[in-house]
Amino acid sequence: MYTEKVMKHFHNPANMGKIANPDGVGKVGNMACGDMMYMYIKVAKNKQGEDIIKDIKFQTFGCVAAIATSSVITELVKGKPLSDALKVNNTDIMQSLSGLPPIKVHCSVLATEALSDAIYDHYKRNKKPISKELKAKHEDIVRHNKMLEEQYKEYLDTQELE
């Protein structure tokens, strides 16, 4: 069902975990099956003065495809300028994984959303201009998350307490 590459990422995911003081966090949920993905980024400037993703880490509650796509997207964008990172789409992810079963394509979309929302969060924190497109994407995500929060209320509640 899954390609060897998918299984490799699943068993040994890259950049898994949390970043202590992130410059941006993206938290997204998957409406189709009810999964969650968190993406943390650290931003720095490169020699050309562009903002780049200096470090990135993810946490995922979901299926094999969700975990593998989270892992692969972090590899694809680490070290890249934010503007380039935003261009990574789920076709790129699918290519790096040599494909996903059709029913699992939505999991790779989740990964791109988590990343774009982490970048959105970074822009917002630093009062940087945000493109219309990115903003629209963010609003979609917020809407979805609200619905999911209902589903995982007890878990998220305890998270706030701690």
Partner 1 sequence: MKKEQKRYYFDYAATTPVDKRVLKAMKPYFSDNFANPSSIHTPGMDASEAVESSRKIIANYLGATPSEIFFTSSATESNNWALKGIAATAKGDKKKIIISPIEHHCVLNTAKYLKKMGFEIVETPVDKEGIVDVEKLKELVDDKTLLVSIMHSNNEMGTIEPIKEIGKICDDKNVTFHTDAVQSYGKMPLNVNEMNVDLLTASSHKIYGPKGTAILYIRGGTQIEALLHGGGQESDKRSSTLNVPGIVGFRKATEICVKEMKKEWKKQSKLRDKITKYIKEKIPNSHLNGPALGKPRLCNNVNVRFDFIEGESLLMDLDSHGIAVSTSSACSSPKLEASHVLTALGISKGDAHGTIRITIGRFTSEKDVKYFLTTLEKSVTKLRVMSPLNTRNC
Which residues of this chain interact with partner 1, rule CB under 8 A? 2, 7, 10-11, 13, 16-17, 27, 32-38, 59-64, 66-67, 103, 151-152, 154-156, 158-159, 162
Q: Which strand (E) or helix (H) includes residue 26?
A: strand 24-30
Q: Is 148 in the site for ligand FES (CB under 6 A)?
A: no
> Is residue 104 close enough to count as binding ligand FES by CB under 6 A?
yes
6: contact with ligand FES by CB under 6 A: no
Question: Which of 9, 36, 17 has the alpha carbon at shortest distance from 99?
Answer: 9
Q: Is 63 a catalytic residue?
A: no
Closest of 93, 91, 149, 86 to residue 118, by C-alpha: 86
Whether residue 28 contacts residue 71, with contact meaning beta carbons closer than 8 Å, is answered with no
Q: Output the smallest distance, CB 60 to ligand FES, in A.
A: 8
Q: How many CA atoms lie within 13 A of 31 on its CB side?
A: 9
Contact between 62 and ligand FES (CB under 6 A)? yes
To the nearest whole angstrom, how small is the minimum distance from the Cβ of residue 41 to partner 1? 15
